Amino acid sequence: MRRASVETREHVLRVAHDLFYWHGIRATGVDRVAEAAGVAPTTLYRLFADKDELIAAYVERADRETRAWFTAAVESAGPDPRAQILAVFDTLNERIGPDQCRGCTFLMALAEFPDEHVPAHRRAVASKSWVRERMGELTARLGVDDPEALADQLVLIMEGVNASTQGLRGPAHQARALAEAILPPP
């Protein structure tokens, strides 16, 4: 079946996501991505100038997905900011099953690319910053004394979930209860 260039690009990114996420970015070569995607390496290089561009696109795609699930969680909870925050943790809990999560895409990218000048690093930081900003917007609407500190604490809980999904089943599933404990009562 012949695909349009946009469809092929998205297909390659889905395959790259699976390989990079589950096997590591540096451990996964471009030839392996091309083979798994069922495209010739020349096709892959027409879509992405080099592996760095493919990696940056992978992180950017993960960022779009993160923004989408976070926004959907908030919007599904109605207008109450406390309920919106808890909905984020409920959705996060659904996303951390052992077969669907091995941690945070962005933390893994940052670990593999610590140089802040690398596009994948910059995009990962931008995604982390976006989540923190959204959480700050939500905590600002709670009427607490220090909404910035509360937002930092909530993001720290989220990071703990991401760090504890591999091997440890229990801790990550306590995130909502911890978030609920530090939020002001309804």
- Identify whether residues 99 and 125 lie together within a single domain: yes
> Which amino acid, residue 74?
V
Which range of residues forms the domain containing residue 119?
A: 56-182
Q: What is the pLDDT of residues 126-143, one digit of tens each?
A: 999 999 999 999 999 999
The pLDDT-based confidence of 69 (bands split at 50, 70, 90) is very high
- Count the domains in the chain: 2
CB 132 within 8 A of CB 151: yes
Global pTM value: 0.90
CB 16 within 8 A of CB 54: yes
**Is the pLDDT score of 2 beyond 70?**
no
- Identify whether residues 83 and 3 lie together within a single domain: no
- Identify whether residues 116 and 134 lie together within a single domain: yes
The pLDDT-based confidence of 185 (bands split at 50, 70, 90) is very high
Q: What is the pLDDT of residues 135-180, one digit of tens each?
A: 999 999 999 999 999 999 999 999 998 888 765 567 888 899 999 9
**Is the pLDDT score of 100 beyond 80?**
no
- Identify whether residues 72 and 120 lie together within a single domain: yes
Q: What CATH number should be reported for the domain holding residue 38?
A: 1.10.10.60
Q: Measuring CA to CA, how many Å separate 100 from each of 22, 50, 73, 95, 108?
A: 10, 28, 18, 7, 15
Q: What CATH number should be reported for the domain holding residue 139?
A: 1.10.357.10
Instruction: Report residue 92 as tokens.
Output: 């996060």
- Identify whether residues 160 and 143 lie together within a single domain: yes
- Identify whether residues 62 and 35 lie together within a single domain: no
- Identify whether residues 87 and 156 lie together within a single domain: yes
Share of the chain above pLDDT 70, in %: 95
